[in-house]
Structure 1
């Protein structure tokens, strides 16, 4: 049967309309972007050492693609690996291989490491090294001859199959080879292998002076307590030293770093020749940093390269990055000018030049092109809401932007700096992946992902710029209900964090920033979110506006958002809700108690209630110590303000929370009982600070139901 043109148009438009009316399930709103609504991506991308090709993973293998011709071949497949394995050892799924070259690499399963190597058209697999099943924090020697790892509180070396105990501390309060200082200051590990594999530097942390803190496992009967070391603001902190183990002589020394034993040791970096180690020594007050060079053989101080001081705080976040084939010149990332920038230092002569400058900040240092004397980085130079990729000549300071599209760009640079993998998205673009020739600027697209949300009835999203009381621009987003009617009045949910090291509002996909916001818009809510002063990627003045007074400036900025919302004719000012987690949970509770007339409903997850009970490194950086700033701690303490609560407050906590410990909300409940104040409360057994996985669906359904119950009446 033939269709008329009119019928065809009707069918096409009808199907289009139908396609746009689909609503999210709560599971899709919470976990969809990590499951059935995930944006297509390049899996396990890495550059080949030849700088001319790259690897990517597939379900059952790896592909190698030659950049010039874009010719793609199977590098290795599951069937190739299994061809030489017995029935008992055959692999059921393809392992994640770390390639040394395109002809050899390794993977791990159940603490066993397997070597894979091409043999003609085939691949051979053989067991390489079996580590203790309790091995953690594993680091591999770059010559592939062994591993350094921890078992419980001690450090071990397995080289060519032989295991050596580097430390043998029987006191479990002495911890070796693990990240220290609550993983603050950019610290993510505690093992530092020298570039030529002759030595291993490692953190040694004495926690004996820090009080035990109980974390209860309620899943067993009777319940079991596991003590952790959790140094709270104003209390004794752990003592950290740096050891150096010589693999050849089997001897170890400790760096001679005098001073307060509670100081912080950060930015640990080997010199490329492995003769010295650089350590950022930061005082406990976190306002004085010395970058020191130590002799790796004796542990003695060679010299102080530079010192950074601040009336507020100094916050080192990165190791030194040495220039290619240089033992003397390195890049240091510093916020000393008010924005994070790149500084060129020479070990002997000190500061050579500030490489990047301006009222914007470098967010990532990607690497070098040695031949052309170029440094590659990502920054907020175009806008605080975006990230773009640049190169700068370290001799002429000539700078060039390498990408062209608006949005959030992340880059992976080839080893020689000739090719740049650029992955980006913006509010209209789910994901695009390009290869950029850094010399010619020529771009090759290797992925343009389809929009997985195209069938859904999505809300209108507007970017909003407001002004703080000092004129500082504040960026936010307002998400209107689907099927929006300007003549109606709608309830509003304000979602906030507004704390350090977080930025909610960027030019990214999805434009809303969170599918739960869109889910709530489909249910007839307006959702508003804004980054106030104190949040990240706007420079030190913006971030440090909250110094010693957490929760005050942030509230003033968020109240500007409330004023904006109330100015809109379609906002029901009598039905405002607020929700946040962690620092956002603190802000939510703060609002419900200090401005009880503003929000009728609040949902506070994992909230800090009393900063005296939060960990030292974070709290004392932004609040100073309780001894030095008693008034600031008193203002921010919510335990003596519970009687101010007027609206409906739901507080939620993970029972195993080791970040914002459970005691925060438990003490708040006790204060509420003492004052005769009613509130709602829910606990997630088995979860630490964040409720993740399938249980997060339960969490967000509970949050949704709470707003429905009290904002839709």
Structure 2
């Protein structure tokens, strides 16, 4: 018997050893990283409105079911499909064939997507209100209000409907005169074009006239013959579009346009309503992006009332978040600004006088989560613990004291209950794929709901090491390093370095997989590569000076920081400095090409995806923030026009571009190839027809196989 047990144990050890030597496939690394190999989660977990209880969806056997639990309540079944259909039948609605998406945290009613419609179901009375008719479900820009009105776009024009009644609000909409849509190319935190008032009876909306903007050709290759599809693409220094804001009263069916004044080429951002719906507030930014005015307008007449305050910066101001009025004092509001060098919260009175700075320190407020039920505490996420971590804090607005509610050097995502007494904390760290827990904000006691297993436990892979090294400027630069699987310190290994280095991006985080969304770095480490990722100056969430260091000469500080990374690599005895590769996309693609032509011979091979090659080819809003216009900064634009340096290229370079890219237009990489041909310089080029700025879906596997093959062929 003992011999049998011993044999079984030996077999199990052998099986485990084999399993742990399993290598990631490209499908695993790219296709499965967000599905079957993603850390386990609690699907659609949320608070049940007005309670401290949570709900989430799961499968019990073959049946979908919503589970409910709480800090002092054991988890149990809350709602099955059969039970939901009983309620739907009682409300006079058709049954659901599958469990629909349900929002339990928006109010007393459950918000349900049902057969193309959106309904509000009262779970006690089983009475239903149709929020969005099924006929409108597929409309563009759909947004309903608390008063039962629905705004949407149809044939370029804005409509507002309530029940069977539909009102066409605008009549001159075209592809060139754009209504109720995101404007200014999604900069300044803009993501939509309609803004319902607090009552839900009045709608503010964008109108963008882009007739004066040059057409830019995007070729549709799916037809015979191929056809040109023009988009409006305002390049740096050229004519930009003109935006105004309209206000539609759904009860009186009248429209006024806010008198936002001249010049027409300005940015209208961060739209907010006063608590009484009498006023609309807009952060008005000049085209130079160095002078902001927070303006107040009368919502009935459209008349300009006053400027509450102004912000100026010698480089740029970038408003990203609308003002937030206090819950229990509508005469005060909170404004986010990095005026002291870091993004923080400031309390103002209704006349625009700053009362006090609510948060302060060498760290960033990342996101405001809202108030507690009494409006006494404000919840926010910040980097106070570490630039690469995220934690939740509760700020007492009266005392000014903040309490840290989530703990540890990890990246936390938080939902706060209606009362503010409980938090759903969903976090990960490099060692812990995911933990979901609830936290009592008073006692800071926790209850773990899920501790996910390592989805890569069967694979021959290890976590990266996250560390810092000093830049020449004295800044700590974060890096993530994967060593080859089966690492032998006596051997030398080829290297791949990945980077981005531009604004609004941070590659390295204290989260699972070091913040990377796929497992390609691990895939390459399995195949014998050292893989380094770095966040250079210019990257996000490190303060204003860190980001603005690239002003008017993008690339310069990034090149310097990359040389620091190269020096670090060369100092490691296991690095084969003669076989190093560089990889980046978008801004990272620009940086990659820039480094290859500015520091030739350091990297043997490089891949640049969707690269900016000439900043004069890039859009007005982004480019002029960091570079000013080509007319104002000719030397800066000349220095960053990479095609003019193509003769300095050494080593192998692969350029990749989505052929329908409307963000970094293909003219960038084509220009570089043309100059390479003229100079007799060999470069490699790959296109992805049908893809825009990112290659997504199943073709992403093809993309990463292409990149992998390129490095394997050239780093030997």
Task: Tell me, yes or no, if the aligned pair for 2:131 and 2:144 is still in contact at 8 Å.
Answer: no
1:501 to 499, 504, 509: 504
Deviations 1:607-644 (A, max 9, x none): 00100010111100011111111100111111111111
Pick from 535, 555, 561 the counterpart of residue 557 of structure 1.
561
Give 4+ residue runs of structure 1 displaced > 4 Å after superposition: 4-9, 82-85, 88-92, 99-103, 114-120, 122-128
Partner Cα separation in structure 1 for residue 100 and residue 384 of structure 2 = 40
Question: How far, CA to CA, are the matches of 1:329 and 1:218 in structure 2?
Answer: 55
SS of 2:621 mapped into structure 1 = helix
| Alpha-carbon distance in 2 for matches of 1:372, 1:234 | 46
2:439 aligns with 436
Are 2:433 and 2:454, in contact at CA under 8 Å, matched by a contact in 1?
A: yes
Query: 1:292 touches 1:302 (CA, 8 Å); kept in 2?
Result: yes
- The one-character-per-residue Cα deviations of 1:655-711 (angstroms, maximum 9, x if unpaired) are 110110111111111111111111111111111000011110000001000001010
Q: CA deviation at 1:486?
A: 0.8
- Aligned-pair Cα RMSD in Å: 2.2
TM-score by length of 2: 0.95
CA 119–187 in structure 1, closer or farther in 2 if over 3 Å, else same: same
On the 8 A contact 1:207/1:239 being kept in 2, the answer is: yes
Per mean C-alpha deviation after superposition, the further-off stretch among 234-243 and 372-381 is: 372-381
Contact 2:331 2:349 (8 Å CA) reproduced: yes
Does 61-70 or 436-445 show the bigger shift? 61-70
Tell me how far apart the structure 1 counterparts of residues 474 and 120 of structure 2 sit (CA, whole Å). Answer: 60
Aligned to 2:98: 93
Matched, 1:38 2:46: no
1:291 touches 1:305 (CA, 8 Å); kept in 2? yes
1:29 aligns with 2:29: yes
- Tell me which residue corresponds to 1:576: 580
1:127 deviation in Å?
A: 9.8
Give the CA deviation at 1:443. 1.3
Would the aligned equivalents of 2:328 and 2:375 in 1 still touch at CA under 8 Å? Answer: no
Matched, 1:684 2:679: no
Q: Is 1:106 paired with 2:112?
A: yes
Q: 1:399 to 1:14 in 2, by over 3 A?
A: same
State the 1:404 CA deviation: 2.1
Instruction: Flag structure 2 segments of 5+ consecutive residues without an equivalent.
Output: none
2 CA distance for matches of 1:423 and 1:415? Answer: 18
Among 280, 285, 290, the alignment partner of 2:288 is 285
Alpha-carbon spacing, 1:338–1:103, altered in 2? closer, same or farther (3 Å): closer
- Asked if 1:264 is matched to 2:270, the reply is no
Query: Within 5 A, what are the aligned runs for 1:142-291?
Result: 142-143=146-147, 145-291=148-294
CA drift at 1:2: 4.1
1:548-583 C-alpha deviation (Å, 9 max, x unpaired): 001111010011000110111111111010011111
Kept in 2: contact 1:372–1:393 (CA 8 A)? no
TM-superposition CA deviations, 1:569-609 (whole Å, max 9, x none)? 11111101001111111111111111111111011100001
Figure out how many residues of one structure are paired with residues of the other and give that number. Answer: 708
The answer to whether the Cα contact below 8 Å between 2:49 and 2:107 also exists between their aligned partners in 1 is yes
Shift of 1:48: 2.3
Structural mapping, 1:257-656, within 5 Å: 257-348=260-351, 350-371=353-374, 373-459=376-462, 461-511=464-514, 513=516, 514-656=518-660
Q: 1:478 to 1:171 in 2, by over 3 A?
A: closer
CA distance in 2, matches of 1:89, 1:412: 32
1: CA distance between counterparts of 2:364 and 2:472? 24
Return the offset for 1:445: 1.4
* Distance in 2 separating the partners of 1:103 and 1:249: 28
**Alpha-carbon contact 1:655-1:662 (below 8 Å) kept:** yes
For the 8 Å contact 1:98–1:107, the answer to whether it is kept is no
**Contact 1:82–1:91 (CA<8 Å) still a contact in 2?**
no
CA gap 1:446/1:306 in 2 versus in 1, 3 angstroms: same
1:70 to partner: Cα distance: 3.4
CA distance in 2: counterparts of 1:189 and 1:330, whole angstroms = 22
Structure 1: gaps spanning 5 or more residues? none
Find the residue that maps to 1:621 and give its secondary structure: helix
Contact 1:468-1:474 at 8 Å conserved across structures: yes
Write the distance in 2 (CA, Å) between the matches of 1:82 and 1:26: 46
Aligned equivalents of 1:63, 1:627: Cα separation in 2: 61
Is the 8 Å Cα contact of residues 363 and 379 (structure 1) preserved in structure 2?
yes
SS at match of 2:292: strand
Contact 2:309 2:352 survives alignment (8 Å)? no
1:227-249 deviations in Å (ceiling 9; x for gaps): 11111100011000110001111
User: Take 2:132 and 2:399, find their aligned partners in 1: how far apart are those partners?
Assistant: 48
Alpha-carbon separation, structure 2, partners of 1:201 and 1:119: 35
The answer to whether the Cα contact below 8 Å between 2:100 and 2:112 also exists between their aligned partners in 1 is no
Q: Which moved more, 1:236-245 or 1:89-98?
A: 89-98
Residue 89 of structure 1 and its aligned partner are, at CA, apart by: 6.8
User: Does 1:675 pair with 2:690?
Assistant: no
* Matched residue, 1:57: 57
Give, in whole Å, the separation in 2 of the partners of 1:425 and 1:50: 28
Residue 153 (structure 1) shift = 2.2
The question of whether the paired residues in 2 share the 8 Å contact of 1:490 and 1:524 is answered with yes
Change (3 A) 1:344 1:170: closer
CA distance in 2, matches of 1:382, 1:660: 35
